[in-house]
Amino acid sequence: MAKLDLTKYGISGTTEIVYNPSYDELFAEETKPGLEGYEKGQVSELGAVNVMTGIYTGRSPKDKFIVMDENSKDTVWWTSEGYKNDNKPASKEAWDACKKLAVNELSNKRLFVVDAFCGANKDTRMAIRFIMEVAWQAHFVTNMFIKPTAEELENFEPDFVVYNASKAKVENYKELGLNSETAVVFNITSREQVILNTWYGGEMKKGMFSMMNYFLPLKGIASMHCSANTDMNGENTAIFFGLSGTGKTTLSTDPKRLLIGDDEHGWDDNGVFNFEGGCYAKVINLDKDSEPDIYNAIKRNALLENVTLDENGKIDFNDKSVTENTRVSYPIDHIEKIVRPVSAAPAAKNVIFLSADAFGVLPPVSILTPEQTEYYFLSGFTAKLAGTERGITEPTPTFSACFGQAFLELHPTKYAEELVKKMKVSGAKAYLVNTGWNGTGKRISIKDTRGIIDAILDGSIKTAPTKTIPYFNFEVPTELPGVDPKILDPRDTYADASQWEEKAKDLASRFQKNFVKYESNEAGKALVAAGPQL
Ligand SMILES: Nc1ncnc2c1ncn2[C@@H]1O[C@H](COP(=O)(O)OP(=O)(O)O)[C@@H](O)[C@H]1O
Ligand SMILES: C=C(OP(=O)(O)O)C(=O)O
Ligand SMILES: [Mn+2]
């Protein structure tokens, strides 16, 4: 690519640029003899290549920073004593140092450059240029982002540039006010991201998600950490919010429906649209029979991360010895039932909040009032599951605003406002679905959860008999087709209902404590009544 000049980014001495490589080129590059360490891919029995990412097998939110400057100072939702979050400010000096480390690492090398889009909507998509030295990282972004047509590539002008220098370390991080030798730094003004010392693929996709979360709500578009699908006619759209591991990917991949996307979406006046061109599924304990579509997506061109293979490429999906956050990325067309050609569909009619409750208190499904919808969206209660974030080794209860706090760049109320506006126009209803634990000590089965989702999407939940659950005032159905009726009231899953009572009171008070941070204004105060009462 003669027209590609990387010196404008400070990258010099480039010996060759492999530009938007095809899948065949990527396969050859990532398996070529002589690759060492985390650069090396191994072909698995399913045809997909597997790579290992070292100690970073999940995102590293503690190492996430945003440059604080004139532009970002008053717009970004910075971490504060009153409301701690992952948006830590970096100085201009720290940015310059990190950028320099990245361009030094990437100078005098043979590089991969991938130009791709984030956002299926042409008016609001971001054109992104990824620059890296590692072939499989080029494969990852090729899978996960939207591929430009040949014509679009002709005139491709990036809105955002990502430098992946995973081999470089920030040695003087203390001096720079950073957290460790690893840094994931965003500069909203120059529209750049630098990745240092982590190889986890997810850092690249969730980085751009964070940027969409900054730019879109400012244009009046809802930007959401959710999966989305629609019915076979492309009419009855549903979105599934949830923190990592709560079931967005699993539950939106449904053979009865068309997939829009598994993780990041916008909702504008035309409807719901995907930001991505691929999916990133967890594969721990993946079972061919219970999740056939995801299993079948693991073939040539898919890319496995941190999965255990023997020397012959035989896969052991049950092995957690490296991480529980084993993954596969694949282009969305590895799933048969998808919306084509553009991953978009009309406004959502059903909004589902997935929460993996580690306490075993929440009912498997609750029908929410509009006020409860706002309250539970802002609260974002769930458990962080082992592995997706560094340092999390067991299900850890958390309140993650909007079910994706780590990716919010504006105040959570901004996302709630945009969602509520869109829901009002479409007349959408919201449900809180617990995909976590109950009194049995086991996780609610995928089969029961799928039954619940089916009942929401085919409308049968609307005619089901219901009762009210104390403390939370949740309206829950007492029977649903295809769902074990003994689990619908969580109290029935305990040997003694008083065990539930005790845990429920504890959880209710955690909700109340967490919500205090929203009570500094009238709108927040007004929502308290919709939350748990003791
Ligand atoms: N009831 C359930 N609903 C959804 N997923 C479940 C359930 N029980 C166990 N799981 C497992 O939890 C994980 C959900 O992960 P995934 O769908 O990738 O979540 P996300 O896309 O939200 O990060 C999968 O490994 C799935 O097999
Ligand atoms: C990729 C991630 O998210 P999810 O599990 O929601 O797909 C992540 O959090 O790193
Ligand atoms: Mn997912």
pLDDT in tens, 201-219: 999 999 999 999 999 999 9
| Residue 122 and residue 250 in one domain | no
Whether 2 has a pLDDT exceeding 50, the answer reads: no
Ligand nearest to the CA of 206: 2
CA 312 to ligand 1 center in whole angstroms: 29
| % of the chain surpassing 70 pLDDT | 99
In the predicted model, what is the mean pLDDT of residues 269-279?
98
Q: Tell whether 428 is covered by a domain.
A: yes
138 Cβ partners below 8 Å, 6+ apart?
A: 18, 21, 26, 29, 112, 113, 114, 130, 132
Q: Model confidence over 286-322: pLDDT tens digits?
A: 999 989 999 999 999 999 999 999 999 999 999 999 9
CA–CA separation, 60 vs 173, rounded Å? 15
186 and 233 co-located in one domain: no
Domain match, 163 and 228 both? no
The answer as to whether 464 is a domain residue is yes
Distances (CA, A) of 486 to 7, 93, 529: 65, 59, 29
Q: Indicate whether 107 belongs to any domain.
A: yes
Domain that holds residue 141: 13-37+59-219
- Which numbered ligand comes closest to the C-alpha of 283? 1
Q: Kindly report, residue by residue over 133-172, the tens digit of the pLDDT.
A: 999 999 999 999 999 999 999 999 999 999 999 999 999 9
Q: How many CB atoms lie under 10 A from the CB of residue 47?
A: 13
| pLDDT for 112 beyond 50 | yes
pLDDT value of residue 69: 98
Res. 390: pLDDT tops 70: yes
Measured in degrees and rounded to the nearest 5, phi and psi for residue 437 equal: -105, 165
So what's the pLDDT on residue 301? Answer: 98
pLDDT of residue 1: 46
Q: Where are the alpha helices (DSSP H) in 75-182?
A: 92-106, 135-144, 150-154, 173-176
Q: Is 384 in the pocket of ligand 2 (CB under 6 A)?
A: no
DSSP-assigned letter for residue 161: E
Is residue 365 predicted with pLDDT exceeding 60?
A: yes
pLDDT at res. 109: 97
| Confidence label for 7 from pLDDT (cuts 50, 70 and 90) | very high
CA of 16 to the centre of ligand 2 (A): 33
In-domain check, residue 6:
no
The model's confidence at residue 393, banded by pLDDT at 50, 70 and 90, is confident
Question: Which atom of ligand 1 is closest in space to residue 244's alpha carbon?
Answer: 23
Q: What's the gap in Å between 5 CA and the centre of ligand 2?
A: 33
Query: 349: exposed, middle or buried (C-beta count within 10 Å: 0-12, 13-18, 19+)?
Result: buried
> Number of structural domains, the chain?
2
Ligand 2 nearest atom to the CA of residue 249, by list position: 7
Distance 263 CA to ligand 3 centre (A): 5
The answer to whether the annotation marks 411 as part of a ligand binding site is no
One domain for residues 271 and 166:
no
User: Does residue 375 lie within any of the structural domains?
Assistant: yes
Evaluate whether residue 326 is within a structural domain.
Answer: no
Residues 212 and 244 in one domain: no
Kindly state the DSSP code that residue 534 receives in the 8-state scheme.
-
Amino acid letter, residue 399: F
Q: Which is the closest atom of ligand 2 to the Cα of 245? A: 5
C-alpha to C-alpha distance for 432 and 472, rounded to whole angstroms: 12
Give the CA distances from residue 151 to residues 46, 71, 148, in Å, rounded to whole numbers and listed in that order. Answer: 33, 34, 8
Of 201, 219, 237, the one marking the end of a domain is 219
Which residue, 122, 119, 120, 141, is CA-closest to 130?
141
Tell me the average pLDDT across 504-528. Answer: 95
Query: Which residues' Cβ are closer than 6 Å to ligand 1?
Result: 242, 244-251, 262, 281-282, 284, 435, 443-446, 449
CA 437 / ligand 1 centre spacing (Å): 12
CATH number at residue 474: 3.90.228.20
Half-sphere exposure of 413 (CA within 13 A, CB side): 12
**Distance (Å, whole) CA 63 – CA 156:** 31
- Hey, which bits of 269-356 come out as E strands? 271-274, 278-282, 303-305, 308-309, 315-316, 327-331, 344-345, 348-355
Residue 408 within any structural domain of the chain? yes
Q: Is 291 annotated as a binding residue?
A: yes
CB 124 within 8 A of CB 274: no
Tokens 């403390």 -> residue? 471
Tokens 């299993």 belong to residue = 295
Which residues is 272 bridged to in the sheet?
267, 345
Q: Mark whether 98 and 229 lie in a shared domain.
A: no
| Residue 59 assigned ligand-binding role | yes
Q: What is the CATH number of the domain that holds 168?
A: 3.40.449.10
H-helix or E-strand spanning residue 456: helix 446-457
Q: What interface predicted TM-score (ipTM) does this complex get?
A: 0.97
Q: So what's the pLDDT on residue 491?
A: 98
For the chain, give the mean pLDDT: 96
Residue 271 and residue 261 in contact, taking contact as beta carbons nearer than 8 Å = no
The three-state secondary structure class of 376 is: helix
Is residue 446 marked as binding?
Answer: no
Global pTM reads: 0.97
Of the candidates 268, 290, 273, which has an alpha carbon nearest to the alpha carbon of residue 226? Answer: 273
With a 6 A CB cut-off, is 202 part of the ligand 2 pocket?
A: yes
* Residue 382 marked ligand-binding: no
Q: Supply the residue whose CA is at minimum distance from atom 3 of ligand 2.
A: 244
d(CA 530, CA 525): 10
Q: Which ligand sits closest to the CA of 483?
A: 1
Asked whether residue 265 carries a pLDDT value surpassing 80, the answer given is yes
> What is the mean predicted confidence (pLDDT) over 450-473?
98
Residues 499 and 360 in one domain: yes
Contact 229, 259 (CB under 8 A): yes
Final residue of a structural domain among 183, 199, 219 = 219
Please indicate, yes or no, whether residues 498 and 378 belong to a single structural domain of this protein: yes
Residues 466 and 489 occupy one common structural domain: yes
- Indicate whether residue 158 lines ligand 2 (CB < 6 A): no
Ligand 1 atom 13: residue of nearest CA: 245
Residues 403-430: tens digit of each pLDDT = 999 999 999 999 999 999 999 999 999 9
The answer to whether residues 524 and 457 belong to one domain is yes
Residue 231 burial (C-beta neighbours within 10 Å; 0-12, 13-18, 19+): middle
- 263, 284, 326, 329: residue to mutate for ligand 2 pocket, most atoms within 8 A of CB: 263
Across the beta sheet with 258-261, the strand order is 258-261, 226-230, 237-242, 348-355, 429-434, 365-367, 474-477, 466-469
Residues 429 and 513 in one domain: yes
Q: Which ligand is nearest to the CA of 407?
A: 2
Mutation probe of ligand 1 site: the residue of 250, 251, 456, 484 with most atoms within 8 A of C-beta: 250
User: Quick one: which H or E segment has residue 224?
Assistant: strand 222-224
Task: Determine the distance separating the centroid of ligand 2 and the alpha carbon of 220, expressed in angstroms.
Answer: 25
Confirm whether 4 is domain-assigned.
no
Indicate the residue among 182, 200, 219 that finishes a domain: 219
Query: Distance between CA 211 and CA 22 in Å, rounded?
Result: 27
334 is annotated as contributing to ligand binding: no
* Contact of 493 with 484, CB cutoff 8 Å: no
- Same-domain check for residues 515 and 379: yes
Catalytic residue numbers, as ranges: 59, 206, 225, 244, 248-249, 263, 327
Q: Binding site annotation covers 257?
A: no
- For residue 53, what pLDDT is reported? 97
CA distance 208 to 214: 10
Ligand 1 centre and the CA of 28: distance in Å? 32
